[in-house]
A and B are shown apart, each in its own frame.
Chain A
Amino acid sequence: MQSGLAVFAGVFIVALADAFIAGFSARVVNDFIAEGGHLLVSAPGYAARREAFPSDRYIPDSASVERELRAVDPFLLVFPAIRAAVVVSRGSSEETATVACRGIVPWSAGSMNPAYESMPDRMQSGRFLEGAGDSGMVLTSGAAKRIGASSGDRIIFLCEDRYGSFNAVELPLIGILRDGASFSADSCFIDMRNARRLVGLEDGADEIAVYAADRDRMPLSPRAAEPALKAAAEAVAGLGLESTRWDELSSSLSRMLDFLDIFMFVIYAMFAVVAAVGITNSVLLSVQDRVRDLGTLRAIAFTKRQVSVMLLFETFLVSAASSALAVLAAFAVSGRFAADGFALPASTQALLSWMPAEVRPLVVPSRFALAFAAGSILPALAAAWPVSTVNRMSIREALGFSS
């Protein structure tokens, strides 16, 4: 009974924790993919220096690349973008701010760019870019405050273009965005047409984010996206361009997820060792409590082997039943939190930019099955030693005959 409760508690905690970790990892990966795409297409050497805005490496004709990619797979969502460091100021004000500017296409072929789906909800004032033909700029609240800008103001952009000259473009500030986790505090987003004017790229782009999507135009999971991404990468290579997978784009994220896997494996292993010791102890006590009964069984007819099998099978049955209940309970609790989500403290997002606002547990059937199997088999293995101690006793000792 005691070992059954211990198994139930252990399997429940491990299965539930694992569902949360799986949900967390999936959410972090999904957020990262939503932000940057499954695949980043760029000129050779661009991706490695992406954060430094290398203006000499760009895709001259992004439209033809987009057509090529859509020919490979009609379900690929393709969004070109321009990235540049720009200086912004409000009209004739002397206050300026240097911001990371993104020229974006919020909509393409009837689909919204997954990177900007949450933007309308994150507006402090004004609106985000709407539709394919919309123009204007959106500034993050920190930068807006620094230059004293508010929605409706006209903002001057100053930037070195691809020919080495300085360009200035004036755009209306259509909205102010609350500083968020998925982009730098000093950022701005402008429509692609004006971005091209600003950096002097007529039909070009710095990068093209590619999403593999389903029929509903929802981004696929990394595994499901694999065949489409492989085909897209081959097509891009044929154009003399470079493609970088999502997991190659952020080595720190990949390392973090790998570390999380290893960390959780170590935690589970430690949990298993502690559980095994506890179960061994519990079975030992249980066996010692019944040593006279076991001696009686051997005296009346049972072999040592039969008694061992009986005890191990009993332990297995209790453990399997407890594990099954624990997995069901973990499934129910996971379902409850999967519906509502589990909000993470805001401080964690402030600390780590990739930390999601909430985690929803993800039930991975194979991992639940593994928790069930471990919870059923481990106690039976842990019971082997206590059972052997009884079998080492003579029947006379087990029956409690002194002499």
Chain B
Amino acid sequence: MSSVSVRDVRKSYRLGKLSVPALNGVDLFVEAGKIVGIVGPSGSGKTTLLNMIGCIDRPDDGIVEIDGINVVPLRDRELTELRRSSIGFVFQSFNLIPVLSARENVELPLIALGVPGRERKARVDRMLELVDIAEFAAHKPDELSGGQRQQVAVARALVIGPKIVLADEPTANLDGETGRRILSLMQRLNREIRTTFILATHDPRILPFMDSRIYLEDGIVTRVETLDGGAG
């Protein structure tokens, strides 16, 4: 389990000669082992904020702490080490490697970590069982439904045993029923393995699954809601 703290984070991007602000001094704290939603309309800075927490991008200013360690000054290699050991990603478009099977996609992070073959197989099998996709292990992504692909993506994110899973609009490309199923899965996994989930979304249907919601607008946190255990 891992806590995340973001303090006065600012980030802007250059668009030609223009500087477009994406985050304008964001402060938030995510308690370890919770499911937290970052909620806001398109362009509010949700993905940028997730990228900062996920060590994919660096803020122009401010502090991002994971388990009390400020990750901003870390070098690229140290950030990669941190990502590969502590952070799992679930993307809106699943981002599975199309030429690899579901099993091979889940195996990828373990290969990068240098996990030996036998242990790798055992961990992948266990994870595929955990996300209920074992029977499709040999299927390529284009042979799977959207929901199944996202199940594979969740398995890939969790196989390294991360402290935090970051999911950017995980239900955006799924129908309502499948989206709920994926969120139920994340909720179950959160309870079983106590991993912190941070989800960026603008889909109001998934809000009941969150322990807390952080509302973002124009790069600023406008509201924080904390619920008791979320909707089951």
Contact = CB atoms under 8 A, between A and B. Distances in A.
Contacts of A304: 76
B108 interface: yes
Nearest to B109: A301
A402 B108 CA distance: 26
B160 A399 contact: no
* Best-buried of B20, B84, B98, B112 by chain A (most CB within 10 Å): B112
Given A300-B88, A396-B56, A403-B22, 10 more contacts: A296-B91, A297-B112, A299-B54, A300-B89, A301-B80, A301-B83, A301-B108, A304-B76, A403-B13, A403-B48
Q: Identify whether the interface residues of A are mostly helix, strand, loop, or mixed.
A: helix
A343 B45 CA distance: 74
B98 A302 contact: no
Of the four ranges (under 10, 10 to 19, 20 to 34, 35 or more), the interface on chain A belongs to 10 to 19
The 7 closest A-B pairs by CB, nearest first: A301-B112, A301-B84, A301-B109, A296-B95, A395-B56, A302-B112, A403-B13
B83 A299 contact: yes
Contacts of A217: none
B69 interface: no
Interface in A286-304: 292-293, 296-304
Chain B interface extent, by class: 20 to 34
B203 interface: no
B80 A293 contact: no
A394 B14 CA distance: 14
A399 to B, nearest CB: 7
Nearest to B76: A304
A24 B205 CA distance: 78
Contacts of B17: none
B113 interface: yes
Contact of B97 (A296, A298, A303, A394): A296
Contacts of B47: 401, 403
A301 B159 CA distance: 11
B83 A300 contact: yes
A306 interface: yes
A293 B141 CA distance: 13
Interface in B38-79: 43, 45, 47-48, 51, 54, 56-57, 76-77
Interface in B111-156: 112-113, 156
Contact of B89 (A292, A299, A396): A299
